[in-house]
Amino acid sequence: MSDILQQLSDAMAGVVEQLSPAIVTVDGRRRLPATGVIHSADGLIVTAHHVVESDEGVGIITSDGKRHTATLIGRDPHNDLAVLRVSASDLPTIPWADDDALKVGHLVLALGRPMQQVQATLGVVSATVSGQRAYEIREEMRSRREQAAPDEWRRFRREMRRARRQRMMGRALADGYIATDVVMYPGFSGGPLVSGDGRVHGLNTSGFGQGMSISVPVATIRQTATTLLAHGRMRQGFLGVGVQPVRLPAGIVEDQETGLVIISVESDSPAATAGLIVGDIIVALDNEPTADVDELLGLLTGDRVGQSVAIDIVRGGNAQQMNVTIAERV
């Protein structure tokens, strides 16, 4: 038994040593620096969006102790990713894993370099949701709303709202996520999630709140990096309204206490074209509840741009449904 533990221990230490040269310190915020990984040998670095507080003056410290000034290529706040570039070449890179290689129950290491030395913490994968599975969950919600008995639907929606409050839904769910029980020490955001074979399966982040250990999967990182390199930004849906939370009249919407009252409508916006007016209360978009501003913003994803979706409102004390075509924020 002791030999097995020693072999496992040696293997984990070997993985940390192998990946250490490609893990960097990201000095982009006022408090403790965070972590990033070298995505390509020509100086492309990926990290967590929330640890890069400014678009300028971001410092990158490589494993040899050298400090580089990074240029921000772009951000994806929806998935808490940022892409940076430094003027360097022949940098060591990390070995990315296949998109679906990680399974629930696998042992993983979360690595971080908020200071000079790489730090590590061990955990177990507790859940994986791919982008395709996230889509299936949204379709399941729509199907249940159409087919389920009222009590079953209310129970299911309460479960989804609880998960959304934990920030798994809305932001991370749209493109999938990896949940683990690793301890996210300060400065670990932006660091790699590594399996036993030394391959990187995701980027760790505490940016989804509630103390959850979430990693953004490889497929999302690749897609985000490609899009930001090509366009410098991610597509974001646009409705054209100013809103604020408001308590709903009793009995108007089951299992939902608050909605978003419209306080302004931009001219020639999707909302104006759809016929929304000041005083309307938005309670759902595309059949998903909008009890607070974060929920509405989380639903205005790039994949909805150009789509006509249902929007549920309360007007004059009566619930009604309209259609709105989501535009792209510019």
CATH assignment of the domain containing 42 = 2.40.10.120
Average pLDDT value for residue range 118-135: 79
pLDDT at 139 over 50: yes
Pair (164, 196) in one structural domain: no
pLDDT, tens digit, for every residue of 190-215?
999 999 889 999 999 987 766 678 89
pLDDT in the model for residue 191: 97
Distance CA 196, CA 207 (A): 25
Percent of the chain with pLDDT over 70: 85
Count each helix (H run) and each strand (E run) in the chain, helices first: 6, 20
Among 294, 287, 288, 311, CA closest to 243: 294
Pair (168, 250) in one structural domain: no
Domain that holds residue 3: 1-126+178-234
DSSP character at residue 268: T
pLDDT class of 280 with cuts at 50, 70, 90: very high
pLDDT at 163 over 60: no
Give the CA-trace dihedral at 223, 225, 230, 231, to 10 degrees: 90
Pair (116, 247) in one structural domain: no
The string of DSSP codes covering 15-75 is HHHHHGGGEEEEE-SSSS-EEEEEEETTTEEEE-GGG---SS-EEEE-TTS-EEEEEEEEE
Average pLDDT value for residue range 37-59: 94
pLDDT, tens digit, for every residue of 289-328?
898 887 888 788 877 899 999 999 999 989 999 999 999 9
Mean pLDDT in the chain? 86
pLDDT at 135 over 70: no
Pair (120, 141) in one structural domain: no
pLDDT at 73 over 80: yes
pLDDT in the model for residue 166: 45
Distance CA 21, CA 157 (A): 46
Q: Which residues contact 233 (CB under 8 A, 6 or more apart)?
A: 74, 75
259 membership: H or E segment, kind and range = strand 258-265
Pair (230, 243) in one structural domain: no
pLDDT at 240 over 70: yes
Pair (255, 296) in one structural domain: yes
Pair (217, 245) in one structural domain: no
pLDDT in the model for residue 196: 87
Distance CA 200, CA 218 (A): 8
Give the CA-trace dihedral at 114, 117, 118, 122, to 10 degrees: -100
pLDDT at 95 over 90: yes
Of 188, 219, 234, the position where a domain reaches its end is 234
Cβ–Cβ under 8 Å, residues 96 and 218: yes
Cβ–Cβ under 8 Å, residues 328 and 235: yes
**More reliable by pLDDT, 91 or 295:** 91
pLDDT in the model for residue 255: 75
169 alpha carbon, distance to own chain's centre: 9
pLDDT in the model for residue 207: 77
pLDDT in the model for residue 303: 78
Of 219, 234, 249, the position where a domain reaches its end is 234
Q: Which of 89-103, 159-173, 277-291 has the highest mean pLDDT?
A: 277-291
Pair (6, 113) in one structural domain: yes
Pair (229, 256) in one structural domain: no
pLDDT in the model for residue 231: 84
Q: How far is CA 291 from CA 35, 160, 305, in A?
A: 34, 13, 21
Angle at 293 between CA 268 and CA 328, to 5 degrees: 35
Among 115, 93, 102, CA closest to 35: 115
**More reliable by pLDDT, 329 or 137:** 329
Percent of the chain with pLDDT over 90: 56
pLDDT in the model for residue 82: 96
pLDDT at 99 over 80: no
pLDDT in the model for residue 147: 62
Q: How many domains does the chain have?
A: 3
Pair (228, 274) in one structural domain: no
The string of DSSP codes covering 184-230 is --TT-TTPEEE-TTS-EEEEEE-TT-TT-EEEEEHHHHHHHHHHHHH
Query: How buried is 220 (Cβ within 10 angstroms: 0-12 exposed, 13-18 middle, 19+ buried)?
Result: buried
